[in-house]
């Protein structure tokens, strides 16, 4: 990331619940998904918004329409959204997904190993991964006031 772009990116994130990560490789994962398997390595060259969620999490339910909007708006520019469910009982996740529409990738990690690898601190927890496979930012929770800031962070990474 160019220095000026990094300064703009950091400025955007400073005013939200989003944290600039030490730019490092995003932890790899390979998980069962609604359709087959999902592996982070398959998204190389794209910006990935990685979201951890559970069926019992009310803010998670509120985040799904926004993730649908982001996917519709930025898929053609290289955005991929992967939402990893952490319910120990997959039937609860299945029931949640019957009520909530999704147009992005859904994966399942009943053991929570991927959440541990990302050092998840709260739910929903989201991570921005650049086209280069590096982790650039993380965010805990989902609030209306953070949506424009999160979208701007996505836009910044898509420009690279």
Q: What is the pLDDT of residues 16-32, one digit of tens each?
A: 454 444 557 899 999 99
Please give the Cα distance from 17 to 39 (Å, whole number). 27
Q: Find, among 40, 50, 51, the residue nearest to 132 by Cα.
A: 40
Spell out the residues 6+ positions from residue 61 whose beta carbon is closer than 8 angstroms to its own: 96, 100
CATH 3.40.50.1580 describes domain 3-158: no
Range of lowest pLDDT (16-30, 88-102, 103-117): 16-30
Please give the Cα distance from 107 to 85 (Å, whole number). 6
- 50, 53, 117, 74 alpha-carbon torsion, rounded to 10°: 0
Please give the Cα distance from 133 to 43 (Å, whole number). 8
- 118, 120, 121, 126 alpha-carbon torsion, rounded to 10°: 100
Entry pTM: 0.86
Contact yes or no for 78/53 (Cβ under 8 A)? no
Please give the Cα distance from 154 to 160 (Å, whole number). 11
Interval 31-52: pLDDT, tens: 999 889 999 999 999 999 999 9
Helix (H, G, I), strand (E, B) or coil at 156: helix
Mean pLDDT of the chain: 87
What are the phi and psi torsion angles at 142 (to 5°)? Answer: -150, 115
What is the domain partition of the chain in residue ranges? 3-158
157 is written with which tokens? 């990474």
């Amino acid at each position: 990331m160019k220095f000026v772009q990094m300064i703009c990116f950091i400025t955007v994130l400073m005013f939200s619940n989003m944290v600039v990560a030490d730019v490092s490789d995003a932890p790899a994962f390979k998980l069962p998904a609604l359709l087959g398997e999902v592996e982070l390595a398959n998204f190389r060259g794209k910006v990935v918004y990685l979201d951890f969620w559970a069926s019992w999490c009310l803010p998670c339910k509120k985040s799904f329409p926004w993730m649908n909007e982001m996917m519709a708006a930025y898929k053609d520019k290289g955005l991929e959204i992967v939402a990893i469910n952490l319910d120990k009982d997959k039937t609860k996740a299945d029931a949640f997904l019957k009520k909530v529409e999704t147009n992005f990738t859904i994966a399942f990690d009943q053991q929570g190993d991927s959440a541990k690898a990302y050092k998840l601190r709260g739910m929903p927890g989201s991570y921005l991964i650049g086209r280069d496979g590096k982790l650039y930012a993380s965010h805990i929770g989902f609030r209306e006031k953070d949506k424009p800031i999160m979208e701007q962070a996505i836009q910044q990474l898509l420009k690279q």
